[in-house]
A and B are shown apart, each in its own frame.
Chain A
Amino acid sequence: MLHARREEWPDADAFLEAAYERGWTDGLPVVPATPERVEAFLATSGLAPDTVLGVVPTREVTVTAEHAAINSVMAGCRPEYFPVVVAAVRAHLDEHGNCHSTTGTLSGAAHAVIVNGPIRDELDIAYGAGCLGPGFRANATIGRALRLVIRNVCRAVPGFLDRATFSWPLRYSFCFGEDEAAGDWTPLHVQRGYAPDQSTVTVHSIMRMVSAWDSSSRDPEGVLDTLVAETRYHGIAGDAFLGDGVNVVYVMGREHQRFFFDAGWSKERMQAYLWPRLTAATAGFHDRRVNLGHPENILIVAAGGAGMAETWVLFPHLAWAVTRVVERPGDVPSETAR
């Protein structure tokens, strides 16, 4: 049985105007969360409405599956996207996802939702050309659903518990997949202990996102040295609460990937090359240490299309990158699953 308060409006226009007046939207139109739609979304996950997906103790907030389903409908998701949203909400509300800080911060941190596994192709989650931008329903609405949960349920409303000085366009939505077939690299979720046939979501809170553009290098070391320089220009500070679990994410495009595929470099070899160079002592104002506890804290994701020789660097904001499995009724647990 659904628990949320329900209300009747004379038509869709009246509902939309009320949604704006009550602050239920991110500024864009929303789809009415009718009880029938919400029930259909919940059915794809097999979750009862009152299943708790996580809590924000500092805000006295509990996020249920029903809350997540209502906001997923409003974001424009299809019902089959909902298990991905559930995994994203669970990842974000993990203690080390640090919801209160990453959604209340003056810096306006955003959240990248990175999808791995077979569900990417089942749902048409884009991971090729243009995948970080608009034009893909699954990417746009799954990322937006997480943001509406953060706004409507976790109360990160600008001027209230969202204290961002500027905020960020990425706070509308930011979701993409990994191009797992680009080469023979181990996919992100497999590196993090999941089976190749499992689908997962990794949520990474982002302080800043910088393009490491390098069209001159012609070998792996040259590209990685560019990534090191770009990352160390900003650095990543240590944090007592987060300990050695902080991550940096490199979203590597095809024009950089090919040097590693041609030379037979694995992600593990790249991590081993990067880690000592990133964590070396600060040498000056624009050469700052990157505080990463272990080589595997460097997350490398293949994505994007051809043409531009760049890799995007996703710097963390006071959170770990947290990975959660996408669970659907009827899915057979993988024997190699963690």
Chain B
Amino acid sequence: MSIVALDPTSGPVEGTARTRLAPRPPSLSGQRLGLVVNGLGCSERFLDALAAQLLATTELDGVVKVVKSSVSVPPDPGDWSRLTEGATVAITGFGG
């Protein structure tokens, strides 16, 4: 006997058309680097060291660093504005 059953999902997982990689600039020359520190573990030290290396080895135009007020929320609105207005490329991460 055949069975009719309902789809339990809210839509196919692959239906994430808005999720795509941000454009990749051909080089960091003249770019302003945004850093989003999630606050876990040694993330700030790690990103600071990474930024220092990039500043030393590329022609970055500067760094905009944002430290989130909590690991479980987005950046504060003011920080978010600084980031979106002041950075042309960004690095974030997850993990502790």
Chain A residues in the interface with B (C-beta under 8 A): 2, 4-12, 14-15, 22-24, 32-35, 38, 60-63, 66-67, 70-71, 74, 98, 101, 106, 148, 152-155, 157, 160, 163, 239-242, 318
| Interface residue B22 (Cβ < 8 Å from any Cβ of A) | no
B residues 37-96 touching A (CB-CB < 8 Å): 69-73, 94-96
- Rounded to whole angstroms, the CA-CA distance of A9 and B18 in the bound complex is 32
Contacts A62-B10, A71-B8, A153-B9; A240 near B2 (Cβ below 8 A): no
What B residues does A14 contact at CB under 8 A? Answer: 3
Chain B residues in the interface with A (C-beta under 8 A): 1-10, 13, 18, 69-73, 94-96
Contact of A6 among B4, B13, B69 (CB under 8 A): B4
- Rounded to whole angstroms, the CA-CA distance of A9 and B2 in the bound complex is 6
- Taking a contact as CB atoms under 8 Å apart, the answer to whether B73 and A33 are in contact is no
Contacts A240-B70, A318-B71; A32 near B3 (Cβ below 8 A): yes
Q: How far is the CB of A12 from chain B (nearest CB, A)?
A: 6
- Taking a contact as CB atoms under 8 Å apart, the answer to whether A106 and B94 are in contact is yes
- Taking a contact as CB atoms under 8 Å apart, the answer to whether B3 and A153 are in contact is no
What A residues does B2 contact at CB under 8 A? Answer: 8-11
What A residues does B13 contact at CB under 8 A? Answer: 23, 155, 157, 160
Q: How far is the CB of B88 from chain A (nearest CB, A)?
A: 25
What B residues does A155 contact at CB under 8 A? Answer: 9-10, 13
- Rounded to whole angstroms, the CA-CA distance of A148 and B2 in the bound complex is 24
Given contacts A6-B7, A155-B9, A160-B13, 13 further A-B contacts (CB under 8 A): A4-B7, A6-B5, A11-B2, A12-B3, A33-B8, A38-B6, A63-B10, A70-B7, A98-B72, A101-B71, A106-B94, A153-B8, A318-B72
What A residues does B95 contact at CB under 8 A? Answer: 106
Q: How far is the CB of B10 from chain A (nearest CB, A)?
A: 5
What B residues does A67 contact at CB under 8 A? Answer: 8, 10
Contacts A101-B72, A106-B94, A318-B71; A9 near B3 (Cβ below 8 A): yes
Q: Max chain B CB contacts within 10 Å: which of A61, A62, A74, A241? A: A241
- Rounded to whole angstroms, the CA-CA distance of A318 and B5 in the bound complex is 36
- Taking a contact as CB atoms under 8 Å apart, the answer to whether B71 and A7 are in contact is no
- Rounded to whole angstroms, the CA-CA distance of A239 and B39 in the bound complex is 11
Q: How far is the CB of A236 from chain B (nearest CB, A)?
A: 14
CB-CB nearest 3 A-B residue pairs: A240-B70, A32-B5, A4-B6
What B residues does A242 contact at CB under 8 A? Answer: 70, 72
- Write the chain B residue with the least CB distance to A318: B72
What B residues does A32 contact at CB under 8 A? Answer: 3, 5
- Taking a contact as CB atoms under 8 Å apart, the answer to whether B5 and A148 are in contact is no
- Rounded to whole angstroms, the CA-CA distance of A257 and B47 in the bound complex is 49
